[in-house]
Structure 1
Amino acid sequence: MTRWYSIEPVDGAFFTAAPHVFRYEKRLAAPAETVWESLASDASLSAWSPLVSSVNWTSPRPFGVGTTREVTLAPGLTRIRERFFRWDEGRGYSFAAYEGNLPLLQHFAEDYEVEPDGDGSRLTWTVAIEPKRALALPFVPLAPVLKVAFGRVAVDGQRYFARA
């Protein structure tokens, strides 16, 4: 049985206040509507990138503020439960993690914005992280590695929509 560790809630202010904020802007070769449909789909980011093993929405449709889901990251060792605190249908959403299967995080949140950009779209994705206090110093040299790993998901999204 999985043991779950609480992660403290945050709001939108965390995207500027977090000790580690990673922001990615990518132009995608798909209309904003198509990108949004993918983000809100059953597979969501797991369709884009092998770094996201699975996405399991744990709230019924229609999704909105308060929606929950569980995400498993490759190779399946890390699982996070998320709750959405912003949902702008067709344009973007934000969520904060509320539980994880590893006791690493004090706060964790992500924000997604999708905008039309010519015949494609622009995705702005922000990841904000604060590790547990005991891990704050060890996290400093790990942060650049995480930034690259999250960036890989964004690049995988570009490839995914280039093929679609």
Structure 2
Amino acid sequence: MPWFTLERFDPTFFDTAPHRHVYVMDLPVAPEAVWRGLAGDAPLSWCRGLAGGRYTSAPPHCVGTTREVTATRLLRLREEFLHWEEGRRHSFLVTEASLPLFRRFGEDYLVEPTPTGTRFTWTFAFEPHPLLARPAALTDLPNGAFLRTLIADTKRHFGAA
């Protein structure tokens, strides 16, 4: 299978990316439970659109940790963490993808305690591959639909309405 290399970026990309989707969820479970689901051995295993999420570097996980995941059965991604604050926040950038869809892509996960559980903020940031830049507005609709499925699965998994 061919792999396509994506451009690296620094954490400011999560605020400046041409395409950003930010989802804030209040979940009725302890922050530790949310963190285990996001950073454990089978990250995001409850999401129907993701499969085979596994770390490719040995614990302990931290900045520089690598992981692979398959999205929608078609797109394999190799990820590298550029921020890791144990129990609270981590962010990754995609270093390689099996399809040339993105120039840059990454996600940021923020887990914060609330009086009733956890506020989980999930940010997706991307820049399409230059060949797809012009129709990116058209492709953002199915992309957004896929992301909303991940959010719905996460809410259902943690018992949120």
Asked if these proteins are the same fold (TM beyond 0.5), I'd say yes
Per-residue deviation at 1:144? 2.4
Q: Residue 108 of structure 1 aligns with which residue?
A: 105
Say if 2:128 is the partner of 1:131. yes
Per-residue deviation at 1:148? 2.4
Distance 2:52 2:23 in 1: 22
Q: Residue 64 of structure 1 aligns with which residue?
A: 62
- Is the contact between residue 28 and residue 157 of structure 1 (CA under 8 Å) also seen in structure 2? no
Q: Residue 53 of structure 1 aligns with which residue?
A: 51
Say if 2:11 is the partner of 1:12. yes
Q: Residue 77 of structure 1 aligns with which residue?
A: 74
- Is the contact between residue 27 and residue 120 of structure 2 (CA under 8 Å) also seen in structure 1? yes
C-alpha RMSD of matched pairs (Å): 1.2
Amino acid at match of 1:57: Y
Q: Residue 29 of structure 2 aligns with which residue?
A: 30
Distance 2:100 2:146 in 1: 20
Report the secondary structure of 1:102's partner residue.
coil
Deviations 1:103-160 (A, max 9, x none): 1110001000001112310100100010111101111111122122112211211100
Distance 2:74 2:141 in 1: 20
Distance 2:47 2:8 in 1: 26
TM (norm. structure 2) is 0.95
- Is the contact between residue 64 and residue 86 of structure 1 (CA under 8 Å) also seen in structure 2? yes
Tell me which stretches of 4 or more aligned residues in structure 1 moved more than 3 Å. Answer: none
> How many residues are paired up?
160
Q: Percent identity?
A: 41
Structure 1 residue runs of 5 or longer lacking an equivalent are none
Amino acid at match of 1:40: A
